[in-house]
Amino acid sequence: MWGSDLVALRPEFYHVLESPFTGEKTVCVRALVPDYAVIHVQECDVYGNARILGPSYQDALLARAARKTIITTERLVGTYRLREEPKLTAVPHFLVEAVVLAPGGARPGICYPEYQQVDDAGMKAYLRAVKDGTLEQYLAAGEGRE
Amino acid sequence: MVEKVMSMTSAAKLVKDGMMLALGGNALHRSPVAFSRELARQGRRGLAAVGAAPGLATDLLCAAGAVDTVYFGFFGFENEYGLAAGFRKGCQEGRIQAIEGS
């Protein structure tokens, strides 16, 4: 954080302390604790052991920072599949409160390798609904859903 | 281990008005959009959203008026889809407090 104006601008988040061990000045950042992390994955078992294929971004951290996690998944897979490669489990079952089967759940965005291109028509429909203030009708119509 | 499979409707009902949510993925990648659609349909209000690069799912909640505070590093769709339209509109109308932290 050194060099960032945010340290001075947001005293509710950042605080400079001296290290009790070395006396070195250290920036402390206040933690946010989300009530829920909601993560869309490619594979999950019925207990909430979830596997992310491709980049996981901050998702494993979000699940650990939040009080509980909700998983939406492209596929439900057998637990034996996850046991074959336990290190590939990004979110373990004990962090998870709900598992929802939701194929296409990231559309009109991308979910590698299930769908690897943005659904251009779906994105344009969404952006148009935002611009025109017609989101309610957009949601009611279920546009962009499979 | 306990079985936790439920419907989208039931899972979205776990989230109450005023809660803080961290929606996963990044911009248009692996964003939990179907979950956000259901939450918006249920008319949730007063949510806070947090993410390093929140994506479409968070933007949809902003556009639906479900979110009033966003903690973020970067918030946009990239490429030809530009900035996060719902978030931007909410900020411009003074409905959303943007707390940038990077």
pLDDT in tens, A12-48: 899 999 999 999 999 999 999 999 999 999 999 999 9
Kind and range of the H or E run holding B89 = helix B85-92
B6 at A interface, C-beta within 8 A: yes
At B101, the pLDDT band (50, 70, 90 cuts) reads confident
**In 3D, which of B100, B84, B80, B102 has the Cα closest to residue B92?**
B84
- Taking CA–CA distances from A116, the nearest residue in chain B reads B29
As for the ipTM of the complex, it is 0.97
Q: Judge: B29–A55 Cβ closer than 8 Å, yes or no.
A: yes
Q: What is the pLDDT at residue A146? A: 40
Mean pLDDT estimate for chain A? 94
B91 at A interface, C-beta within 8 A: no
Residues 26-55 of B with CB under 8 A from A: 26-35, 37, 40-41, 50-53, 55
Q: What is the pLDDT at residue A143? A: 52
Q: Judge: B40–A139 Cβ closer than 8 Å, yes or no.
A: yes
Q: Judge: B35–A96 Cβ closer than 8 Å, yes or no.
A: no
Per residue in A120-138, pLDDT (tens digit) is 999 999 999 999 999 999 9
Find how far residue A108's CA is from the centre of its chain.
16
Domain ranges of chain B: 16-100
Q: Judge: B33–A10 Cβ closer than 8 Å, yes or no.
A: no
Contacts of B9 in chain A (CB under 8 A): none
Per residue in B46-63, pLDDT (tens digit) is 999 999 999 999 999 999
- Taking CA–CA distances from A10, the nearest residue in chain B reads B101
Three-class DSSP category at B86: helix
Range A62-81 average pLDDT? 98
Find how far residue B99's CA is from the centre of its chain.
14
> Cβ neighbours of residue A133 under 8 Å, at least 6 residues apart?
none
Write out the two tokens for A115: 């769908």
Domain ranges of chain A: 1-30, 36-103, 116-146
CATH T-level topology, domain B16-100: Glutaconate Coenzyme A-transferase (3.40.1080)
